[in-house]
Amino acid sequence: MRSFALIMAASLLVFAAFPVLAVPVSPQAVPVPTFTVTVVGETNGTRQQFDRSLILVPELPIQLIVTFHNNDTMQHSFTINDVNGTIKVNTLLVNPGLNVTLNFTVVSMTLVTYNGTQFRPEISPSGGIEFYCIPHRLAGMTGRIALAGAPTGGQPVEKGILLRAYWIGIIGIAATLLWVIISYFLIKSSSRHHTDHREHVRKGLP
Ligand SMILES: [Cu+2]
């Protein structure tokens, strides 16, 4: 019975370590998908604008490959600021007829990675990450990057953190249940008394 108790104790250690081993295997380990989009700068009537004021991405995090095309007779830019108003992602001024492609990662609606550095992007009043044209921002040449399915006007929830918490919870409950079951047999096998359930059964008066 002592060897049985030792095996059970070893099993306890393995199961106790299991949640620690499982934590690094999270949704964040999955490669970041890419999303390619073309945005055109143009003049519509007398108004300078982007051909699309909304870039809807299907999921987060996502690597955005934005090709900005200037289909106009004047210079435009595709620009993103951080929350402090500092320019972080920028095509610079693009001459008429030319393209500039930018490649950045939207980790969440409040975190962007560009050229190996992270920053907190400026949030659009309509929700999502604001982008704009430097010469025509005041004229209304702005747009936003938003998560499909997210409510407008608010910031979407970061799914990765919720999923991780979910799995930690499930693993924690499973480990606790295993601990209780194994402890039962461990204590039962270590006890000098009542090793056989039949001893508990009343066999009538003596
Ligand atoms: Cu412009």
Q: Are residues 22 and 43 in the same domain?
A: no
Q: Are residues 19 and 37 in the same domain?
A: no
Distance from the alpha carbon of residue 98 to the mean position of ligand 1, in angstroms: 13
Mean pLDDT value of segment 42-67: 96
The rounded distance, in Å, linking the Cα atoms of 141 and 135 is 9
pLDDT digits (tens, 9 = 90+) for 132-160: 999 999 999 999 999 998 765 544 455 55
How many domains is the chain built from? 2
Give the helix/strand (H/E) hosting 159: helix 159-190
Instruction: Provide the mean pLDDT of the chain.
Output: 85
Cβ proximity of 42 and 125 under 8 Å:
no
List C-alpha distances in Å: 135 to 44, 45, 62, 97, 157. 16, 17, 28, 17, 33
Domain that holds residue 126: 31-156
Q: Are residues 143 and 49 in the same domain?
A: yes
pLDDT digits (tens, 9 = 90+) for 84-99: 999 999 999 999 999 9
Distance from the alpha carbon of residue 60 to the mean position of ligand 1, in angstroms: 28
Distance from the alpha carbon of residue 52 to the mean position of ligand 1, in angstroms: 13
Distance from the alpha carbon of residue 139 to the mean position of ligand 1, in angstroms: 9
Q: What share of the chain in percent tops pLDDT 70?
A: 73
- Name the residue with higher pLDDT: 191 or 14: 191
- The pLDDT, as a whole number, for residue 149 is 85
User: How sure is the predictor about 161, in pLDDT bands with cuts at 50, 70 and 90?
Assistant: low
Q: Are residues 97 and 84 in the same domain?
A: yes
User: How sure is the predictor about 194, in pLDDT bands with cuts at 50, 70 and 90?
Assistant: low
Would residue 125 count as lying in a domain? Answer: yes
Mean pLDDT value of segment 177-185: 93
Distance from the alpha carbon of residue 103 to the mean position of ligand 1, in angstroms: 20
Lowest mean pLDDT among 18-22, 61-65, 170-174: 18-22
Distance from the alpha carbon of residue 66 to the mean position of ligand 1, in angstroms: 16
Q: Are residues 95 and 185 in the same domain?
A: no
Residue 31 CA to chain centroid, in angstroms?
Answer: 12
* Ion ligand 1 neighbours, Cβ < 5 Å: 48, 76, 133, 135-136, 141
Q: What is the CATH number of the domain that holds 126?
A: 2.60.40.420
Q: Are residues 61 and 86 in the same domain?
A: yes
Distance from the alpha carbon of residue 108 to the mean position of ligand 1, in angstroms: 27
Q: Are residues 82 and 143 in the same domain?
A: yes
Q: Are residues 54 and 134 in the same domain?
A: yes
Q: What share of the chain in percent tops pLDDT 90?
A: 63
The 8 Å CB, 24+ separation contacts for 186-190 are: 186/5, 186/8, 186/9, 186/12, 189/1, 189/4, 189/5, 189/8, 190/1, 190/5
- The pLDDT, as a whole number, for residue 166 is 80
Q: Are residues 173 and 106 in the same domain?
A: no
Give the helix/strand (H/E) hosting 21: helix 2-22
Q: Are residues 109 and 64 in the same domain?
A: yes
Distance from the alpha carbon of residue 186 to the mean position of ligand 1, in angstroms: 74
Q: Are residues 15 and 41 in the same domain?
A: no
Peptide bond before 61: cis, by omega within 30 degrees of 0? yes
Distance from the alpha carbon of residue 149 to the mean position of ligand 1, in angstroms: 29
User: How sure is the predictor about 195, in pLDDT bands with cuts at 50, 70 and 90?
Assistant: low
Distance from the alpha carbon of residue 114 to the mean position of ligand 1, in angstroms: 22
- The pLDDT, as a whole number, for residue 154 is 47
Distance from the alpha carbon of residue 63 to the mean position of ligand 1, in angstroms: 25
Mean pLDDT value of segment 88-111: 97
**Phi, psi dihedrals of residue 182, rounded to the nearest 5°:** -65, -40
- Name the residue with higher pLDDT: 78 or 25: 78
Residue 206 pLDDT exceeds 90: no
